[in-house]
Amino acid sequence: MVAILALVVSCNVAYAESYSIVGSGAAVTNGTNPEMYQSVFRMTLSNQSAITRGMFLVYGNNTYLHAYILPQNWVFSYNSDGSFHGQGPIQSTQGQYLSVVLDGSRVFATNTDSMWKVSADIQDNNTGFILDYLATGNDLFPKVDVSDDAKVMIPNGNSAIANTGFYVPLNLEIMRGTTVTWQNEDNIGHVIQSQNGHGIVIPLFNSIILKTGDTFSYKFVKPGIYYYMCTIHPWRVGVVTVS
């Protein structure tokens, strides 16, 4: 079972002691019969490299997963550019162990506060979740310049007519002025074609056929919601939301 979680997260920093990332959102299973779930996420850090506690909660439709981070077995780093990476185990209240990989990249910063785009992967032998959420709040390095680049992956299996092979991320959220690069990781060619809200292709950002490993980039300078598709595989659509 694979799920996509969309989380809007708040982050509060107490510089002398700790700061926490806390959020709630939705989970959707990725399969032939998609299911919708609710989710809560919490993680508290004592400094740039130490997690003190945290938990994940996914529930709804006869599914309930409540798991705690095992901080002594985690590796975590928060970098001066506002990005962070962590990985380690969590244990459910039923005794189930799962592994987590967590990554965040900062997309906007003021003198005190920031916004991060965060993704995570939770796995065990029978369960898999892909998390995608926004984190906002105070920042350890708020005055450092923010990267104005973002990436969308076209995964292997993207051409399949099924609930698999979504663009990663499916709905990219960025600030205006960001350059987005699509990279084809599938074993066949794809194109990126911008379309309006009615599904009609428009000449805004349009690529040639991207072979395996090829990339295509476009800089978004105006806020708005931008839809795109692959005209070779028109069931594959994605969204870029520009703030």
Assess contact for 83 and 106: CB atoms under 8 A. yes
| Residue 68 confidence (pLDDT) above 80 | yes
More confident residue, 159 or 214: 214
At residue 101, the pLDDT reads 86
* CA nearest neighbour of 13 among 109, 112, 111: 112
* Three-class secondary structure of residue 170 per DSSP: coil
User: Is the pTM above the cut of 0.85?
Assistant: no
Summarised one tens digit per residue, pLDDT across range 144-202 is 555 578 899 998 888 888 766 788 888 898 888 889 999 998 989 999 999 998 889 99
At residue 12, the pLDDT reads 46
Assess contact for 120 and 149: CB atoms under 8 A. no
Q: Rounded to whole angstroms, what are the CA distances from 89 to 56, 95, 141, 175?
A: 11, 12, 27, 32
* CA nearest neighbour of 241 among 115, 112, 81: 115
Assess contact for 131 and 120: CB atoms under 8 A. yes
Summarised one tens digit per residue, pLDDT across range 102-115 is 888 887 777 777 77
Supply the CATH classification number for the domain 149-242. 2.60.40.420
Span 46-55, mean pLDDT?
Answer: 87
Instruction: Looking at mean pLDDT, say which of 129-133, 148-152, 175-179, 210-214 comes out highest.
Output: 210-214
